[in-house]
Structure 1
Amino acid sequence: MLWALTICGRRMGGVEQEQQKTDRTGFLEALFCHIIWGLMPIYWKLLSGIPAFQVLAWRMVWAAVFILALCVLVKRVRFLYLARDPRAVKTFLSSGIIVSLNWGIYVWAVNSGHVLETSIGYYLCPLANIFCGIVVFKERLTTGQKIATALAAAGVVFFIVAHGGAIWISFALAISFAVYGTVKKRGGYEALPGMAFESLLTGVIGIAILAIGFAFPALWQFTPPMPSPMAVTDQTLLAALLVGAGVLTAIPLLLFSAAANRVSMTILGFMQYIGPTLALISAVFLFGEAFTFAHAVCFALVWAGIAIVSIEPFVRRARRSARRSA
């Protein structure tokens, strides 16, 4: 009997240790993912001497090359079967175009001095997701979500009245990313094969954009270069940075996909605010963007809404536990 209990204890201890290791690995994957996203404005500043549209095209191409090469190397992700499914082609072509639009706006906004607005946009993403849930999936708002939405709306309206029209960048980033997630959710395809197939499609689009741009250079003038003091001018280094843009696009996506399988959605939900917070810090202390009173009010109201949405599930859980105890 003692022998059996000893063996059982060792096995349980092994399971717990493995679970702790898995949770720790997932936490680190999510942490590094969001740190990379949060520090990406620094990378785009280095490429600010190149038109944003051209940077976007190279990003699409090299991200596809890196992800597809990884799929070939690991020999564990099959995705070409999706090309035979018209619905899959429609889904991933749509999601690829939407996320590319999001990337393009982001790169242009960073290099035109609107990193603060990009930060607001990514803080608004959870609330934009809630809106898409209501419109597309007929979900119902909780009391906390209603209050959070009202606070965020008030902050945005105040910003528009007090500061001007740059808030459209925040709206465009939040809405495009929420719609991207909605398209993927409605598609219902596996994450990694879907990402590989989407990358293949966006890579082809990126090649087409580059071909047209080099044939008709006037295309790049839709987003003319806006060199910052950090802009790199050495051609060899620029080429390396353009290749790296694709790698830095793919790595956080892969880390996020891995983390989503190891840690809870609650932890992922809290950690998604690391990126915009780092962008906010970079905008003010590194890039010298003015943090105005309008920014302060908008951020404060959005943060208050995020806090309410984040805390509400724990409050509901505590109430359910109290009822059971009673």
Structure 2
Amino acid sequence: MSRPEFDLIHWIRSQVRDREPVRVGIGDDAACLRPPADRDQLVAIDMLMEGVHFTFPDATPEQAGRKALAVNVSDIAAMAGEPTAAFVSVALPKHRGAQFARRVHTGVIELAEEFNIVIAGGDTNSWNGPLVISVTLTGHPVGPRSICRDGAKPGDWLFVTGKLGGSLPTRHHLTFTPRLAEAKKLARMVELHAMMDISDGLAADLDHILTASRVGALLVADQIPLTEWALASTDGSSPLQHGLSDGEDFELLFAVSPEEGERLLAQWPETTPITRVGEIVEAAGCRIRYPDGRIEPLSPIGWTHSLDAEGQ
């Protein structure tokens, strides 16, 4: 008698191979990892839901699976880390069938191979609801320590990678490449004081760094790098508002000393651009300076997860 869940697990197992630090992966009661000695261990967890983080048919099943792993790789990159092993749990809609399930996992597996990540376990269930994917990703820092949000200092320069705005309408959120290579290069070139990825929007995520570091910031409006879509948008929001609040950009936001910032601007070797967007100040809160010289408070606008009944 066919057992679809076990058929899927056997198929997934046939598509992946164990390697360090995974001693035992899919197929046993638990995975067995042997992490490097005397190294921080990083763990990132994200749950993505159909109707919230992706929709069909805008996304393909492969893109949904890919994004579920990619957002976790972005979190490990934000800690200046190297991802190692992923655990993928999926609630599959019964009405979409076995081929749909394989396509979702194909998206996960292909991105895992791209970043040398072992799919080491997880869980598979089916139900009458939408697709839900939860990924747990382990890793370790590429340098001597993890880079957290709480180390920004007054006088630091603030940088972002890439360009901001319009990730959802352009479907960039389904196809983005996590800035893992850029994070590794940054960790090896300079002393990073604080870093995180931009998932909820520049203004909202910068607020997390400011709160953790107990500092403030001054952004410079005309230095914030905007995508072509944001610059050409005619939806009623300004290009700057898109860059500050759209979210799902998955770029890096980081703080370094002015001396390190100068060196980065002079020697940055990657094709992904980095842009200085402001600086850290002592006074709490975030402010933004406009081209005409005005300085105004900037609230942490961006994506929020509602927990009330209407927002669920």
Shorter-chain TM-score bucket reads under 0.3
With normalisation by structure 1, the TM-score equals: 0.26
Question: Greater CA radius of gyration, 1 or 2?
Answer: 1
Higher normalized strand content (fraction of residues): 2
With normalisation by structure 2, the TM-score equals: 0.27
